[in-house]
Amino acid sequence: MANLSELLKQREALEAQIAEMQNGARNDAIGQVKALMAEYGLTTEDLAASSRKERKVSTVAAKFRDPATGNTWSGRGLQPKWLRAAVEAGASLDSFRV
């Protein structure tokens, strides 16, 4: 049976082999990426641009407006505090409709 020092040496040798193989695989991958970039005429800017997800921001027209302050609400989500307070004070929701 192997003693502790022999096992530690084996582990070090295996870790060195693993690191060497990882570096080789990484270098191969980099070579493949460079070849594809050259083949298709890509730049690093192209890669960065394709990785960003462009998010469309849609605006929704206001359905309710406070004539005194100009505050608006699209009717989506929770009622804003200004509208809720006005309705609780007795105003009609339809009186704020645009």
Token reading at 60? 């929704």
Q: Using the CB atoms, write b or e for 6-24: b if 16+ within 10 Å.
A: eeeeeeeeeeeeeeeeeee
Sign of the torsion formed by the C-alpha atoms of 31, 33, 38 and 43: negative
Q: What is the C-alpha to C-alpha distance for residues 33 and 65, in angstroms, rounded to an integer?
A: 55
Residue 56 in this model has a pLDDT that exceeds 80: no
The answer for residues whose C-beta is within 8 angstroms of residue 9's C-beta and 6 or more apart is: none
Token reading at 52? 């960003």
Domain that holds residue 33: 4-51
Residue 81 in this model has a pLDDT that exceeds 80: yes
Same domain, 9 and 41: yes
Q: What is the CA radius of gyration of the chain?
A: 32
Is residue 92 included in any domain, yes or no?
yes
The conformation of residue 28, written as its DSSP 8-state character, comes to H
**Which pLDDT band holds residue 2 (cuts at 50, 70, 90)?**
confident
Is residue 59 included in any domain, yes or no?
no
Based on the structure, what is the number of domains in the chain?
2
Each residue's pLDDT tens digit, 27-54: 999 999 999 999 999 988 888 776 666 6
Compute the mean pLDDT over every residue in the chain, rounded to the nearest whole number: 90
pLDDT at 52: 67
